[in-house]
Amino acid sequence: MHETLRCEWIKCGKPSCGSCPHGPYWYGYFRIDGKLRKKYYGKNPPGKVKADPDKPDEREKIFARATASAALAWQILGLPEGTSQKQAKLKFRELSFENHPDRGGEERTYKYITCAWSYLCSVYGW
């Protein structure tokens, strides 16, 4: 079974909610008998490795609701803030293609990219 991991940030839609978007929520997508299935992993990325305290990675902040921000998501994607949706989507696809674990990319980097994209989609309503 081949599984693709994806991070999703979700807006609750309540006008009184000042902490939208909520997440990240991690899901694994796979096919069984030709049907697409979805498995919920929770708020922590599957296979999360403890960060080395001597080398803190700023990108880790995208995984926590309290520390995630649009500025960090733009930084992870390597784009300036306010880039158009079309350009951002092209960059996301390019980075996903380059860093996908099935193509020899590093899984951790791929998780940063997918989580950052999901966060931007939720924040900007793409």
How does pLDDT run across 62-95, given as a tens digit for each residue? 888 888 899 999 999 999 998 999 999 999 999 9
Question: What is the SS3 assignment for 115?
Answer: helix
Is the pLDDT at 99 greater than 80, yes or no?
yes
Q: How far apart are CA 89 and CA 95, in angstroms?
A: 10
Q: How far apart are CA 19 and CA 42, in angstroms?
A: 18
Is the pLDDT at 39 greater than 90, yes or no?
no
Note whether residue 41 is domain-resident.
yes
Q: How far apart are CA 39 and CA 3, in angstroms?
A: 9
Pseudo-torsion of CA 49, 60, 37, 40, nearest 10°? Answer: 80
Note whether residue 53 is domain-resident.
no
pLDDT score at 23 = 76
Domain count, the chain: 1
Domain limits for position 22: 4-48+58-124
